[in-house]
Amino acid sequence: MIDFKALAQTYGTPLYVYDFDKMKTQFESLKEAFRGRKSILAYAVKANSNLSVVKHFAQLGSGADCVSIGEVRRALMAGVPKYRIIFSGVGKRDDEIREAIESDILYINVESEAELGRVEMIARELGAKARISIRVNPNIDPKTHPYISTGLHDNKFGVEIVAAKRMYIQAKNSDHLDPVGIHFHIGSQLTELEPIYEAAVIVADLLRSLQAIDIELKFFDIGGGLGVRYDNETTIEPYDYAQAILSALKGIDVTIICEPGRFLTANAGYFLTKVLYEKNNGAKRFVMVDGAMNDLIRPSLYKAYHRIEALDKSGEESIADVVGPVCESGDFLAKNYPLPPMEHNDLLVIHSAGAYGFGMGSNYNTRGRSAEIAVEGANVRLIRRRENFEDVIALEREYL
Ligand SMILES: Cc1ncc(COP(=O)(O)O)c(C=O)c1O
Ligand SMILES: N[C@@H](CCCC[NH3+])C(=O)O
């Protein structure tokens, strides 16, 4: 049990707390599901990119799925071996492509025909042969929030099957491209297996048709997306997930790459915030807290639900909006949430905040970002100190 009260006292609030043991359990449960098959789990760094978190997964044998050269650098710094690093992302700059090729990572995941052309040109300039995979958009509805759907033709990600095939042929015939993988990722917070299976079947069929023209790929990259329980969602069991992929891949010998983000970190993270005041305008009860949308934007952006625990509080519950100090009506951590009467300095624990929490934070309203803490067994470590005013303005130049 994590002593949230003691952590809040020692490190102040708002505060992110990560349970490293829980992250490990999640990692191992997914690894176990693919046991006996050649596979790489490549942690999706964007979910929680703190160097200590990435290092924790690296030490468990994880690779890294990165979507900027900054994330590639983070992964390398955290000790992820270069041969387990993948660089995806729908719009890569030339300098990012160049650095990725020079860093000799596992492969660049190409997301358009135009981008394939840039990768080839830059590899030629470098006198290199760039390892690539192609992100296929299978046009499958992942049945998740529209902002985090990525596998429909309405979404900007990947290329359609016909284009992908053309691109593989171009790559195969190039002296500067080495096609080694195929990739799909249809969305995040997936709670139904069927769309993943359907996408895997489509992409596996493409793989077979490539084999038929002598294009042999080593890696079948199934992206991330496994959903977690924020409230009472049904979730996909790792074993069923692995079996679905394996059945789509029947008869094909490839290394499976999986890029989980949320599954590994969401429920291992907590956001601690203190009550500032209560306010009731007759029509509505508001609980004002010191954490805000600049710390945790998911409720504002997706109307996402996060369970809230009022620590050591009892008394009759009534409905309240939990709101932050930011000057936006959209600044809330919860709407119409049942809470007991709250007083100044009472502590709220916002659950499931370990993925897309701190990383989506900002300095809006000149608010320094929270500190981050890692808990591992009895060991507690500060893994990012709280930002102060000087940090927030550090890069600005004086206006003369
Ligand atoms: C290519 C790719 N891989 C992996 C992920 C990780 O997703 P999730 O956190 O849902 O597992 C994402 C984000 O959706 C992604 O775009
Ligand atoms: N930021 C989203 C997930 C995005 C996944 C990345 N493609 C969330 O908080 O749920």
In the beta sheet, which residues pair with residue 279?
A: 286
The annotation status of 359 as a binding-site residue, yes or no, is: no
In our burial notation (b when 16+ CB lie closer than 10 A, e otherwise), range 88-109 reads bbeebeeebbbbbbeeebbbbb
Tell me whether residue 319 is in a domain: yes
* Domain co-membership, 220 together with 307: no
Q: For residue 157, give the ligand nearest its CA.
A: 1
pLDDT of residue 141: 84
Strands (E), 20-143: 39-44, 63-66, 85-87, 107-110, 130-135
Give the up-direction half-sphere exposure of residue 31: CA atoms within 13 A in the CB hemisphere: 16
Tell me whether residue 26 is in a domain: no
Q: Is 165 in the pocket of ligand 1 (CB under 6 A)?
A: no
* Domain co-membership, 303 together with 176: no
Give the pLDDT band of residue 343 (cuts 50, 70, 90).
very high
How many angstroms separate the alpha carbon of residue 125 from the centre of ligand 2?
A: 35
How many angstroms separate the alpha carbon of residue 52 from the centre of ligand 1?
A: 20
Of the residues 228, 259, 264, 267, which should be mutated to test ligand 1's pocket, given the most ligand atoms within 8 Å of the CB?
259
Beta carbons within 10 angstroms of residue 35's beta carbon? 8
pLDDT tops 90 at residue 139:
no
Average pLDDT of the chain to the nearest whole number: 96
| Mean pLDDT of the region 51-61 | 98
Tell me whether residue 173 is in a domain: yes
The annotation status of 260 as a binding-site residue, yes or no, is: yes
Q: Whose CA is nearest to atom 10 of ligand 2?
A: 356
The annotation status of 261 as a binding-site residue, yes or no, is: yes
Tell me whether residue 23 is in a domain: no
Contact at 8 Å (CB) between 285 and 320?
yes
3 state DSSP class of 298: helix
* Domain co-membership, 234 together with 85: yes
- Residue 104: which of 83, 125, 120, 121 has the closest Cα? 83
Q: Which atom of ligand 2 is nearest the CA belonging to 356?
A: 9
| Mean pLDDT of the region 310-335 | 97
* Domain co-membership, 59 together with 159: yes
pLDDT of residue 188: 93
Amino acid sitting at position 94: D
How many angstroms separate the alpha carbon of residue 198 from the centre of ligand 2?
A: 22
Contact at 8 Å (CB) between 141 and 195?
yes
* Domain co-membership, 195 together with 277: no
Q: How many domains does the chain fold into?
A: 2
Q: Which atom of ligand 2 is nearest the CA belonging to 150?
A: 7
- Residue 137: which of 88, 79, 76 has the closest Cα? 88
Of the residues 185, 298, 352, which should be mutated to test ligand 1's pocket, given the most ligand atoms within 8 Å of the CB?
185
Tell me whether residue 174 is in a domain: yes
Tell me whether residue 29 is in a domain: no
ipTM: 0.98
CATH number for the domain that contains residue 338 = 2.40.37.10
CATH number for the domain that contains residue 69 = 3.20.20.10
**In the structure encoding, which two tokens stand for residue 66, read together?**
């990165």
pLDDT (tens digit per residue) in 261-293: 999 999 999 999 999 999 999 999 999 999 999
How many angstroms separate the alpha carbon of residue 67 from the centre of ligand 2?
A: 13
- Give the range of the structural domain holding residue 91, as residue numbers without chain letter: 34-260
Give the pLDDT band of residue 153 (cuts 50, 70, 90).
confident
pLDDT tops 70 at residue 147:
yes
Residue ranges around ligand 2 (CB below 6 Å)? 148, 188-189, 298, 356
Q: For residue 300, give the ligand nearest its CA.
A: 2
Give the pLDDT band of residue 159 (cuts 50, 70, 90).
very high
pLDDT of residue 399: 72
Q: Is 45 in the pocket of ligand 1 (CB under 6 A)?
A: no
Q: Which atom of ligand 2 is nearest the CA belonging to 297?
A: 9
* Domain co-membership, 309 together with 373: yes
Select from 241, 260, 279 the last residue of a domain: 260
Q: Which atom of ligand 2 is nearest the CA belonging to 44?
A: 6
* Domain co-membership, 222 together with 84: yes
Q: Is 294 in the pocket of ligand 1 (CB under 6 A)?
A: no
Select from 205, 237, 260 the last residue of a domain: 260
* Domain co-membership, 300 together with 283: yes
The annotation status of 225 as a binding-site residue, yes or no, is: yes
DSSP state of 190: B
Q: Which atom of ligand 2 is nearest the CA belonging to 355?
A: 9
Tell me whether residue 398 is in a domain: no
* Domain co-membership, 83 together with 200: yes
Cα distance between the two ends of the chain? 53
pLDDT of residue 303: 96
Tell me whether residue 21 is in a domain: no
The annotation status of 302 as a binding-site residue, yes or no, is: yes
The annotation status of 262 as a binding-site residue, yes or no, is: yes
Catalytic residue list: 327
pLDDT of residue 367: 98
Nearest 5°: phi and psi at 27?
-60, -45
Strands (E), the chain: 15-19, 39-44, 63-66, 85-87, 107-110, 130-135, 177-183, 219-221, 255-258, 269-280, 285-289, 308-310, 318-323, 332-339, 347-350, 371-376, 379-384
How many angstroms separate the alpha carbon of residue 148 from the centre of ligand 2?
A: 6
pLDDT of residue 148: 73
pLDDT (tens digit per residue) in 1-23: 999 999 999 999 999 999 999 99
pLDDT (tens digit per residue) in 361-385: 999 999 999 999 999 999 999 999 9
* Domain co-membership, 141 together with 280: no
C-alpha–C-alpha distance, residues 290 and 114, integer Å: 46
Give the pLDDT band of residue 149 (cuts 50, 70, 90).
confident
Strands (E), 354-400: 371-376, 379-384
pLDDT of residue 400: 60
* Domain co-membership, 131 together with 221: yes
How many angstroms separate the alpha carbon of residue 66 from the centre of ligand 2?
A: 14
* Domain co-membership, 192 together with 121: yes
Select from 260, 275, 292 the last residue of a domain: 260
